[in-house]
Copies of this chain bind each other. A is one copy, B any other.
Amino acid sequence: MSNIRDIAKLAQVSVATVSRVLNNHPYVKDEKRRAVWQAVQELDYQQNINAVHLSKGKTFVIGVVLPYINHPYFSRLLEGIADGAEANGYKLMVIQTNYQVDKEVEALDMLRLKQVDGVIFTSRNSPWHILKEYRAYGPVVVCENKMDNQISTIYIDHYQAFQRGMELLIQKGHRKIGYCIGRRKGSNSQKRHEAYRDQLGKIGEAVTEKWIFERCLHMEDGARVLREWRDMKEAPTALVVTNDLVAAGIILEAEKLGVSIPDNLAVIGFDDQPLAEALQITTIQLPLPTIGKEAFQQATQDVKVIHKSLPFELVERKTV
């Protein structure tokens, strides 16, 4: 394996000149240029990118933290990030965390150790102060609605989005409304809960804890929810659901059990995945790829901290 010094020797120039030639810098005589390329060919030179990274103190790699790779919400987000990366000559290091804090810290450590130039959290479980702590090592971007003067956030206003869903249901006459969520403690989840509480408050209804279905993220969870719902003495007439996947699970299980949607139960999802279109699910469309792309921008530019909310849109179909 030859290196730049071997090339220099063979081409009878200095390593500086070799570097210049390889990187297409100006101010090198054509004959030297040719000599260098000639030597590169002869020795079958391959650059060692790790030396470049060391020397430049930069890797053009962004770390992406996501709890589950195989979930359309995060896949779409990741896709957006990947598009941004591709367009800007960056690579992506993907860390699947299953919401384990140590995995999240591992991702942050890549930043600390200069393995990546920035980190994007599509979701997180670690306390905020940990992210702040690592902020000194490089840009950290988080996809949630949080105002912090050091960490940029690109997000959907889940409070408003959830509110929009609630409004639609209330407008259709629903008063007994429940909701599904992946986990309670997430920041986005909390925003949704606040919207839930506030909207119920507006129509003089109290929060019914039993109507809040936790651990709802995948399609199977939807089926579970529908069965639980069916067995309730007092059941809600409408559900605002984590995402389209869970909504689909609810709807398909409802079909099996002879529950009519939306007559017996109205359902509203989030995301607007192809599945929502196929099943005619009323949903709140979220611009996930755009979030991803913008998060990427922020992770690479780091000129100033921003907090950007991207618009959602209600897509009315047939489940409300």
Contact = CB atoms under 8 A, between A and B. Distances in A.
Band of interface residues on A: 35 or more
A49 B114 contact: yes
Given A49-B113, A53-B53, A75 B82 contact: no
Interface in A95-116: 95-96, 103, 110, 112-115
Contacts of A92: 93-95
B274 A61 contact: no
Interface stretch (A5-13, A142-150, A217-225, A262-270): A217-225
A10 to B, nearest CB: 20
Interface stretch (A27-35, A177-185, A246-254): A246-254
Contacts of A78: 69-70, 94
A46 B110 CA distance: 11
Contact of A223 (B48, B61, B70, B278): B278
A47 interface: yes
Interface of A: 46-51, 53-54, 59, 61, 68-72, 75-76, 78-79, 82, 86, 91-96, 103, 110, 112-115, 137, 218-220, 223, 248-249, 252-253, 274-275, 277-279
14 contacts: A46-B137, A53-B53, A53-B54, A75-B75, A78-B94, A79-B96, A82-B96, A86-B96, A91-B110, A92-B95, A218-B274, A219-B274, A248-B275, A249-B278
